[in-house]
A and B are shown apart, each in its own frame.
Chain A
Amino acid sequence: MDFGEFNIHIWSVVSIMGFICLLLIFLPLAKIRKNESKIKNNEKT
């Protein structure tokens, strides 16, 4: 495939996989941050 050539089938798979992979990274990170910051907030109060 040449650079710049657009194939709707391929790029829809790439974008769906990219989006799901980002979710798989950021969802647990957000949960860890939330739980750790809960402890810090409790300490402050």
Chain B
Amino acid sequence: MFQILKNFYHKLGSYPWFYKISGKVIPFVGVFSISLIVISSIWGLFFSPTDAVQGDVYRIIYFHVPAVSVSQVIYYSISVAAAVFLIWRMKMAGVYIKSLAPIGAAFTFIGLLSGAIWGQPTWGTWWVWDARLTSTLVLFLFYLAIIGMQSTFASRKSADTAVSIITLIGVVNLPIVKKSVDWWNTLHQPASISISGESSISSEMLIPLLLSILGVYLFVFFTGLLFMRAEISTREQNKEWFKKLSSNN
């Protein structure tokens, strides 16, 4: 088992291998993830029951929760990639960070904006400087810093190193985002879904929510592969394997 994982890890570092395999996987993941998002959205918007307190506006949950959840998971994953890059100098880790950062930023932005649009009718305000909202804004700023730093270095290796360091510094913020609703008295409610304990949301609302979370996670996998292929095609456009592959397509 360890040998299989070790072989997979070594193969993962090869641009040609990744480019070939990802090209085969992308169409299936793309169709599946988009179908799942469409089905869960229709289910959540039209077939799940109306909330007794908030009315229909609570249905924003089917977009807000998956977006915020995936934005944190993406940051955890790029932090692991940053550590891998700094320790083993694996080039693919640099590609991964550069590719996933814009996706993470996009979903954090969706989370912040959908939260503001949800907050206006329910809290009576678009924004409050409470711990959850502020720490999520800080997460968004870290993503922007990672994206911005890519173009400030002439050498790709220096850019990947600097980006890895800033990514690891940003990890400190993630437990704060997660635990802010427990540590401080916030306007934002505590988590409704729990993996270990009981969820405080009815199953009729929970099932489409879990489906939409799964759909968004798969969508991130799909777009992550697309962004990584795009980055590899930029880095490797002068290499023989890429020229051969492009002329055959």
A contacts, CB < 8 Å to B = 1-3, 5, 7, 9-10, 12-14, 16-17, 20-21, 23-25, 27-29, 31-32, 35-36, 38-40, 43
Contacts and interface: CB of A to CB of B under 8 A. Distances in A.
A36 to B, nearest CB: 4
Contact of B219 (A16, A21, A32): A21
Main secondary structure of the interface of A (DSSP, over half): helix
A43 B245 CA distance: 13
Interface string B41-71: 1000110001000001101100110010000
Contacts, number: 89
Interface residues of B, number: 38
Main secondary structure of the interface of B (DSSP, over half): helix
Interface stretch (B84-92, B177-185, B222-230): B222-230
Contact of B230 (A17, A20, A31): A31
11 contacts: A13-B113, A13-B117, A14-B63, A24-B103, A24-B223, A24-B226, A25-B30, A32-B230, A36-B233, A39-B246, A40-B246
Interface of B: 30, 37, 41, 45-46, 50, 56-57, 59-60, 63-64, 67, 102-103, 106, 109-110, 113-114, 117-118, 120-121, 219, 223, 226-227, 229-230, 233-234, 237, 242-243, 246-247, 249
A39 B121 CA distance: 53
B226 A29 contact: yes
A42 to B, nearest CB: 8
B60 A25 contact: no
A15 B45 CA distance: 13
Given A24-B219, A27-B230, 12 more contacts: A3-B46, A7-B57, A13-B60, A20-B109, A24-B106, A28-B223, A28-B226, A28-B230, A31-B230, A35-B246, A40-B247, A43-B247
B110 A17 contact: yes
